[in-house]
Amino acid sequence: MADPAVLLVHGLGGTQYDLGSMHKRLKNAGFVTHSLALPGHGTTPQDLVGVRAEQWVEAVSARYAEVASQHEELHLMGMCMGALLAAEVAKRTGHGARGRLVLLAPPIFIDGWSTPWYRFLRPLLYRVPGLPARMRIEEEDPFGIKNEQLRAIVKAKFERGENFHYRWVPLACVREVDRLRGWVMRGLERMACETLIVHAREDELTSLRSADFLVEGINRGAPGRARVVVLENSDHMVAIDNDREVVAGSVLGFLGAQAVAGLGGVADDPRMTADEQSALAARACEALAAVGPSGLWPLGIPDFAWFMPGAHRGSGVARGAKGLSRLLRWGAELRFTAFGTVVSNAGVVIVPTTLAHGDLRSQGTLALWLRAGRLLEARGFPDEPACEDAHFGGSPEPDGPSPAERAFEQAARDVKSLAVPPDQDALLELYALYKQASVGDVQGDRPGLMDPVGRAKFDAWARRRGTTRDEASALYVAQVTRLKERAPA
């Protein structure tokens, strides 16, 4: 499979919840994500008793081999104990040619500021017959989370008994983590892959010494192979805590999924030949000429971003599906013409062009970031931004949804709690307006006779064909407002 993949490994007693929104962020950046439930996980903590570190390593190795057989490019990423497992598997498999390694809060040393002082006693306790299997190490406040609101949410999830993380793990399991730590600490210089370590300065479980140890060990084999990002506003659970955006940005940048990430090694390998880059640039130019910037979205990753320069109503970044919707509201008529010679360099393509809109003809340059056959982002550099400002007028929209978008989102929430349930016709009308406002003209095939409900919905949506998104959004809000005003009989 041409799409790059990432194998994500959760931590001890955890699930993929440990990794926060990384799956979603990676998918939006064009990666296929894979995961696994480690042996002893996903059921009850008692099932961890008897599980050996070898079983965890074998499980990750097997999953790695399976995913590696499906993808040419495969990155490994782990959180906490998952980071130790990812590092160990990367070492054992010689991972490097296929992709990179991301280690989130790897606990090489259990020496964080909030780890209990009696942690030094555990080697003695391991030797007491029967105790490691019976003694529980509990997951307690602060749960590795600095953000108090998130902590309250996690606490509530524990109180509800949700199975997103074990409430405790047996001491026997901690012994296995200690064994795993020992394996990882040995032979780091043999690591063959580019490695990113993300670690919080105030990690309450494992201090920055862990990150330093790994970086020094890996770089002993090849200087510069490992680098570290230090977070200043998180505890141990870095992927869900205050710095989660920094984590996501650093990881995406390290994996080459963001054009600018400030890590120095970004886009140095676009994973495309020069011909492939030229071909993709040509298709982008065709799309820009035919339908404008919106034509770049099908060629890009899900989070493709269009950067409009200047200080007018369209300035700013339009990212992902919402960004496209915003762009179409004001810039559906934008076109680009008069493309000059395309120049490419390590995943970045520069092409001189002219922006056409009404009577505006603004000469400038477009820069496109490419990777693995997809566009990451596009930025315009007009020769005279003031001309575009004067032509488009207005001022940049602030970040976040516009008032109309907020009203639409609120209406979509309100419709779920109407005092008087709408009748069938009103429901179909609401459905049609919602789809028209959020997706646009009807898409897909009309359902068959055996699916009368789907058919009725499709027909209702189709009747709205040609209605602009703004109109549909306003009609939807008005319809919901009318329904809200109806009093119960």
Q: What are all long-range contacts of 123-131, with beta carbons under 8 Å and residues at least 24 apart?
A: 123/178, 125/171, 126/171, 126/175, 131/171
Quick one: CA dihedral 144, 147, 152, 153, positive or negative?
Answer: negative
C-beta closer to another protein: residue 201 or 361: 201
Least separation in angstroms between residue 405's CB and another protein is 9
By CB under 8 A, name the one of 142, 221, 302, 422 that touches another protein. 142
By CB under 8 A, name the one of 139, 241, 377, 429 that touches another protein. 139
Footprint on residues 192-221 left by another protein (CB under 8 A): 204-205
Half-sphere exposure of 42 (CA within 13 A, CB side): 7
Q: Report the SS3 class of residue 413.
A: helix
Owner of token pair 């700013």: 316
Q: Is 236 in the site for another protein (CB under 8 A)?
A: yes
Q: Which stretch binds another protein (CB under 8 A): 50-58, 141-149, 262-270, 441-449?
A: 141-149
By CB under 8 A, name the one of 14, 99, 144, 292 that touches another protein. 144
Element (H, E) at 168: strand 168-170
Q: Is 116 in the site for another protein (CB under 8 A)?
A: yes
Q: Is 429 in the site for another protein (CB under 8 A)?
A: no
Q: Is 169 in the site for another protein (CB under 8 A)?
A: yes
Q: Is 148 in the site for another protein (CB under 8 A)?
A: yes
Structure token digits, residue 51:
């599980």
Q: Is 445 in the site for another protein (CB under 8 A)?
A: no
Q: Which stretch binds another protein (CB under 8 A): 214-222, 306-314, 405-413, 458-466?
A: 405-413
Q: DSSP of 79-130, one letter per residue?
A: ETHHHHHHHHHHHHHTTTSS--EEEES--SS---TTS-GGGGGHHHHHTSTT
By CB under 8 A, name the one of 171, 184, 285, 472 that touches another protein. 171
Q: Report the SS3 class of residue 200.
A: strand
Least separation in angstroms between residue 138's CB and another protein is 5
Q: Is 384 in the site for another protein (CB under 8 A)?
A: no
CA 355, chain centre distance (Å): 32
Least separation in angstroms between residue 456's CB and another protein is 30
By CB under 8 A, name the one of 69, 149, 273, 341 that touches another protein. 149
Q: Which stretch binds another protein (CB under 8 A): 148-156, 313-321, 373-381, 467-475?
A: 148-156
Q: Cα–Cα distances in Å, from 316 out to 325, 326, 447?
A: 14, 11, 40
Q: Is 40 in the site for another protein (CB under 8 A)?
A: no
By CB under 8 A, name the one of 65, 152, 317, 332 that touches another protein. 152
Classify residue 40 as exposed, middle or buried by CB count within 10 Å of its CB (0-12, 13-18, 19+). Answer: buried
Q: What distance in Å separates the CA atoms of residue 94 and residue 167, rounded to the nearest whole number?
A: 35
Least separation in angstroms between residue 148's CB and another protein is 5
Least separation in angstroms between residue 184's CB and another protein is 19
Q: Is 130 in the site for another protein (CB under 8 A)?
A: no
Please check whether residue 67 is in contact with residue 5, taking contact to mean a CB–CB distance below 8 angstroms: yes
Q: Is 239 in the site for another protein (CB under 8 A)?
A: no
Instruction: Count other Cβ atoms within 10 Å, centred on residue 237.
Output: 32
By CB under 8 A, name the one of 233, 395, 410, 443 that touches another protein. 410
Q: Is 372 in the site for another protein (CB under 8 A)?
A: no
Least separation in angstroms between residue 21's CB and another protein is 19
Closest by CA to 239, choosing from 37, 14, 4, is 14
Q: DSSP of 266-333, one letter per residue?
A: TTS--SS-HHHHHHHHHHHHHHHHHT-GGGGGGGEEEEEEEEE-SSSTT-EEEEHHHHHHHHHHHHTT
For residue 342, give the DSSP letter: -
Least separation in angstroms between residue 269's CB and another protein is 38
Least separation in angstroms between residue 154's CB and another protein is 12
Query: Residue numbers of the site for another protein (CB under 8 A)?
Result: 111-118, 135-142, 144, 148-149, 151-152, 169, 171, 204-205, 236, 403, 406-407, 410, 414
